[in-house]
Amino acid sequence: MKLLRITADGLPLFKEQLDICFYAQQRVSEEQKDILYSLFSNIYLNPANGFIGINASGKTSVLKVILLALGILNNEPINHIETRDILGNAPKATLNIFFYSETKKEICRLETMITSKQTKMEGIVYSILSENLWSKQAEEVITRKTLLDFTGKDPVMLRSGQEDFLPDDVSIMIAHNKKTGENMRAVNLLQFTNVNVLPFSDNIPAEIITYLDPTVESLQFDEKDQKMVIRLKFRGKEEIVMNDPIQLNNYLSSGTVKGMITFTLAQEVLQKGGYIVFFAVDNHLNK
């Protein structure tokens, strides 16, 4: 699946409708085609999108909405999505998520209306009030202006409220994804903006380590007696053995650790497809 557009209404932090577009809306020249992703016909996606603004202008909030939309499309329970706090205590928030299904060659629109409820035990709990899914074949699209136009089309799937086995906070996308076998890899790096702790225990490609710090000869992660063992070796130095990733910060620079996190996860997304979302990518990185 590929994101085309996200609109959001009723979010507490946005006075007006939030509208995020991921495809090229203007005419694409021959020189630009090499740096864009060709979806079909004359529709091209931007492979990277950036949001620029002063402090407290809403950059992080926009990224949280994107991650929320990705979670909904991947039929994750809304109450388990890390960025669900962007919904606040909204009585009614509506997300329209437009995406392209590569399996079925269809453009789809998912409209999800979400409500919140304050509880004593769990705090704010979210549930889906109503939901509709529209789709149309890519071959029906004549111009970019009609790409996301579903006027006159009936939903192909809707939430009736009678689904016995569908939790209140899980999208009807679970049925769509089961039919198509589609999902989207979404990597959230917002939590690592100011925190430098490796979130994984897999060996990091040697090329990445050498690029970030040429003095490092090897970095290995092993498991012994159900405990993690980290082995760090600098060229011409004795091996250093640790059992906690936090200890790496005593020997490696912040930029090296941040680079290992960012580049390793980016490599995975580039190989398998998906989205990686980060804030202030240059934090700690100097190369």
Is the pLDDT at 37 greater than 70? The verdict is: yes
Is the pLDDT at 213 greater than 80? The verdict is: yes
Distance CA 183, CA 114 (A): 21
Instruction: List, for residues 12-27, the tens digit of each pLDDT value.
Output: 999 999 999 999 988 8
**Structure confidence at residue 272 (pLDDT):** 84
75: left (phi over 0), alpha (psi -120 to 50) or beta: left
Instruction: List, for residues 157-208, the tens digit of each pLDDT value.
Output: 999 877 778 999 999 999 999 998 888 889 998 888 777 788 776 778 889 9
Distance CA 124, CA 3 (A): 28
Candidate ranges 53-62, 91-100, 151-160, 258-267; pick with highest mean pLDDT: 91-100
| Residues contacting residue 57 through CB under 8 Å, at least 6 positions apart | none
Closest by CA position to 68, among listed 10, 142, 107, 153 = 10
CATH classification for the domain delimited by 2-184, as one of 3.40.50.2300, 1.20.140.10, 3.40.50.300, 3.40.718.10: 3.40.50.300
Is the pLDDT at 29 greater than 80? The verdict is: yes
Three-class SS state of 131: strand
By residue count, the chain amounts to 287
**Structure confidence at residue 287 (pLDDT):** 57
CB atoms within 10 A of CB 121: 5
> Is this model's pTM higher than 0.75 or not?
yes
For the record, the structure tokens of 61 come out as 């909030």
pLDDT > 90: percent of the chain: 57
Pairing of the two strands 43-45 and 123-137? unpaired
Chain mean pLDDT for the chain: 90
Closest by CA position to 78, among listed 14, 125, 9, 122 = 125
Instruction: Indicate the domain borders of the chain.
Output: 2-184, 191-275
Specify the DSSP class assigned to residue 261: H
**Structure confidence at residue 50 (pLDDT):** 92
**Structure confidence at residue 201 (pLDDT):** 67
Instruction: List, for residues 136-157, the tens digit of each pLDDT value.
Output: 999 998 888 889 999 999 999 9
CB atoms within 10 A of CB 164: 4
Distance CA 252, CA 231 (A): 13
Instruction: List, for residues 99-120, the tens digit of each pLDDT value.
Output: 999 889 999 999 999 999 988 8
Distance CA 166, CA 22 (A): 30
**Is 110 exposed, middle or buried (CB count within 10 Å of its CB: 0-12, 13-18, 19+)?**
buried
For the record, the structure tokens of 219 come out as 């970095």
Distance CA 152, CA 132 (A): 14
